[in-house]
Amino acid sequence: MRRANASDPLTDLTDKTVVITGGTGSFGRAFVRDVQRDNPPKKLIIYSRDELKQLEMSRVHREDNIRFFLGDVRDKERLRRALTGVDIVIHAAALKQVPACEYNPFEAVRTNILGTKNIIEAAIDSGVGRVLSLSTDKAVNPVSLYGATKQVAEKLMVQGNAYSGVAGTRFACVRYGNVVGSRGSIVPLLLEQRKSGYATVTDELMTRFWITLEAGVRFVRRCVGLMEGGEIFVPKIPSMRVMDLVKAIAPECRVEFIGIRPGEKVHETLVSPVEARHGYECQDMYVVYSAFPLWTRDIDHAGRRLPDGFSYTSDRNAEWLSASEIVEIVGQLDTHVHA
């Protein structure tokens, strides 16, 4: 991988056939909007299991290059059919609600772990060129089943390169923090709670990494072009104090502290000290390589080696969102948010 920097062009998809799993979710819809606007692929296949969401999405996107493919990542044979003749897979399908994963642990394993295994095997069998999987800060030192399944999914994806070999399918991951306004996130919750005059906060010290959907999509599109196989790409993104978010969105609300929930952390980590031993810093991202590169592909380790003991955590970040910046970002989701 060559040295990554903020001016890296977005990957040219014009002559590519691209599949996005979980394509009717928040990320998938944003990804489709973005690529269709400025770099439409030869074919863009939306692979998901919800026929109603596909119908609703098809009413918005009537372009000739878009196909809707009903299927579940748990179904390997269906995946093989969907990945025939495909160049690039963006793997965004997952069960991601922490309480739901805890209550339905087998379902979380089937989708997040076995589903990722199916993607890897179907991609190799179908001769797909590149697979880039979306991960989360909750995969680092996980304390929830969701985080644990995503950690395993990361390891499966990275070590999938050992199965594909030097000239075969290349697998890599993108890992980032909370996405502003995604379904089930804190922003929609606070916007709803604001109507009642009170807001619930688990811990007043809580911090989180934050990234917009658009920034996440752009980062993924860059990394598809940068990847050689085996990397975990981590963008440098700002942190946010949850109390600053509450003050920005619902300044008049009474705050009720309800205590940290099971499976939740006060602060999140995007790069751990253990990973830093085989990680590199580039201009606007960190790149973590496998500690067990059991394939012989030559990779140019770009950037500067991370120092011993380095970690990238939400409470010790160099970049923080101010209250006014939070208002500006959230205001794009809700026009009634004021400073």
d(C-alpha 109, C-alpha 309), whole Å: 32
Q: Which amino acid would we find at residue 232?
A: I
Cα–Cα distance measured from residue 59 to residue 301, given in angstroms and rounded to the nearest whole number: 44
**Which residue in the list 42, 43, 76, 138 is annotated as catalytic?**
138
**Tokens standing for 297?**
């592909």
In whole angstroms, give the CA distance from residue 82 to residue 94: 18
Residue written as token pair 């793997």: 91
CB 21 within 8 A of CB 119: yes
Q: How many Cα atoms occupy the beta-carbon half-sphere of 57 within 13 Å?
A: 25
| 293: nearest Cα among 131, 119, 162 | 162
**What are the tokens at 173?**
């991951």
Active-site residue flag, 16? no
User: What is the distance between the alpha carbons of residues 175 and 91, in angstroms, rounded to a whole number?
Assistant: 12
Of the candidates 128, 130, 146, the residue with the CA atom closest to the CA atom of residue 138: 146
Contact 217, 158 (CB under 8 A): no
Query: Closest by alpha carbon to 2, among 227, 255, 269?
Result: 227
* Euclidean distance between CA atoms 118 and 103, whole angstroms: 24
The residue behind tokens 């390891």 is 155
Looking up tokens 């909370």, which residue turns up? 178
The burial class, CB within 10 Å (0-12 / 13-18 / 19+), for 224 is buried
Residue 199: which residues within 8 A CB-CB, separation 6 or more? 190, 193, 246, 250, 253, 254, 255, 256
Residues noted as catalytic: 138
